[in-house]
Amino acid sequence: MTAAVAKSTAHSIVEASPRTKAFAGTLVILYALITILPLLWIVATAFKSQSDAIAYPPKVIFEPTLEGYVNLFTVRTRQTPDFIAKLPAPETWYDKLVRKHDMVIAGPSKVVPRFVNSLIIGFGSTFLAVFLGTLAAYAFSRFRIPLADDLLFFILSTRMMPPVAVAIPIYLMYRQLNLTDTRLGMILLYTAVNVSLAVWLLKGFIDEIPREYEEAALVDGYTRLQALRKVVLPQAVTGIAATAIFCLIFSWNEYAFAVLLTSGEAQTMPPFIPFIIGEGGQDWPAVAAATTLFVVPIVMFTVLLRKHLLRGITFGAVRK
């Protein structure tokens, strides 16, 4: 490769040639499409009717309907045609959809309370974990704490236990404390799991903020706490937000603890979704509708988190 050629293509020596790029691009796009296909299939299934969802061969082109969503949010009872005939004509669009199958809406399903549980437990544990994690991370980052490395490793090692193993003593402990199947119990548990991630991530973020700013603030007569509030926190805001989203995603997605420690009152979405049963087995459109609604926030967060993703999934062990 001569200098003249290098100039004419305006590439650095190590940049790939356009042909290599096109080849690499094609392969990656192919993989991405194969990856996304299952997800798209689920989103499509959410808009199918029961019969279309289990049709053979699998239907790619179908008449979209909101039946899945209606089934997800309601409990229905089957009625005799005579009974249906005596009823007044259905007024709303969802009544009409249900009436088609000789059914009547009997009431709301449990999906809304389950969603609310997911939200309350998710946000509650995220807030607590980020709050505690910020304080601990600041201390680890700025003060010399004896055995800091051991403590940090201890905090990390709490994540190595299989959740099923942790659930055994937690279950017994919660029975004693009347915390089984309560939101408070789940919030405390998820906070404990999340706080390790929060401490590790936030310590990385705070380490990157130069100490000089605080030193200057201290010289100006600020106390430590004022310096933390007015100098460090504003600079760590992005890091704190990213950490919060990671904690939220964990609590949102967590299944093992949820399925073992909740049964009704505090049950979250992940253990609930697989058990949306219609007549004659799984009501796939309703399950797919629940999955779709459940996954939408995660997709948005993933796009938001692109920059911090690497750090978050490796506990800050790898940085870009």
Partner 1 sequence: MGQMTTILQPDHAMIPGVNEPAKSRAARRVRGLSDRTIAWLFVAPTITLLLAINIFPLIWMIRLSFTSLNLSMSYLPLRFVGLDNFRDILTDEDVWFRLQTTAQFVISSVALQVVVGFGLALLINRQFRGHSFWTTIILLPMMLSPAVVGNFWTLLLQPQIGPFNYLISLFTGVPPSSFSMTGQVSLAPWTIVLVDTWMWAPYVMLICLAGLRSIPDYIYEAAEVDRASPWRQFWSITLPMTVPFLMLAVLFRAIENFKMFDMVNLLTSGGPGSTTELVSITLKRAAFEKWRTGYSSALAIILFVTVFGAANIYVKALNKVKQR
Which of 242, 305, 223, 248 has the alpha carbon at shortest distance from 118?
A: 248
Nearer to partner 1, 85 or 147 (CB): 147
Burial string for 6-36 (b: 16+ CB within 10 Å, else e) reads eeeeeeeeeeeeeeeeeeeeeeeeeeeeeee
Give the binding range for partner 1 (CB under 8 A) out of 71-79, 96-104, 109-117, 194-202. 194-202
DSSP string, 78-132: E--HHHHHHSPPP-SHHHHHHHTTTEEEEEE-THHHHHHHHHHHHHHHHHHHHHH
The span from the CA of 239 to the CA of 233, in Å, is 10
Give the binding range for partner 1 (CB under 8 A) out of 73-81, 84-92, 95-103, 146-154. 146-154
Give the binding range for partner 1 (CB under 8 A) out of 93-101, 103-111, 158-166, 230-238. 158-166
The span from the CA of 301 to the CA of 118, in Å, is 16
In the bound complex, what is the minimum distance in angstroms from residue 261's beta carbon to partner 1?
10
DSSP string, 281-316: EE-HHHHHHHHHHHHHHHHHHHHHHTTTHHHHHTTT
| One residue of 116, 165, 237, 296 binding partner 1 per CB under 8 A | 165
In eight-state DSSP terms, residue 229 is I
| One residue of 163, 204, 239, 316 binding partner 1 per CB under 8 A | 163
Handedness of CA 46, 296, 38, 282 (dihedral sign): negative
- Give yes or no for a cis peptide into 234 (omega within 30° of 0): no
Nearer to partner 1, 19 or 86 (CB): 19
Strands 281-282 and 277-278 turn out to be antiparallel
Judged by CB under 8 A, the chain residues 215 through 274 that form the site for partner 1 are: 215-216, 218-219, 221, 223-226, 249, 252-256, 259-260, 270-271, 273-274
| One residue of 7, 88, 143, 280 binding partner 1 per CB under 8 A | 143
Handedness of CA 233, 237, 242, 246 (dihedral sign): positive
Q: Which two tokens stand for residue 109?
A: 């399903």
| One residue of 139, 184, 233, 241 binding partner 1 per CB under 8 A | 139
In the bound complex, what is the minimum distance in angstroms from residue 181's beta carbon to partner 1?
14
| One residue of 77, 158, 238, 263 binding partner 1 per CB under 8 A | 158
Nearer to partner 1, 4 or 89 (CB): 4
β-sheet bridge partners, residue 105 = 76
Judged by CB under 8 A, the chain residues 285 through 304 that form the site for partner 1 are: 287-288, 291, 294-295, 298-299, 301-303
Is residue 191 part of the contact set for partner 1 (CB under 8 A)? yes
Nearer to partner 1, 133 or 239 (CB): 133
Judged by CB under 8 A, the chain residues 33 through 92 that form the site for partner 1 are: 35-36, 38-39, 41-42, 45, 53-58
Judged by CB under 8 A, the chain residues 265 through 284 that form the site for partner 1 are: 270-271, 273-274, 282, 284
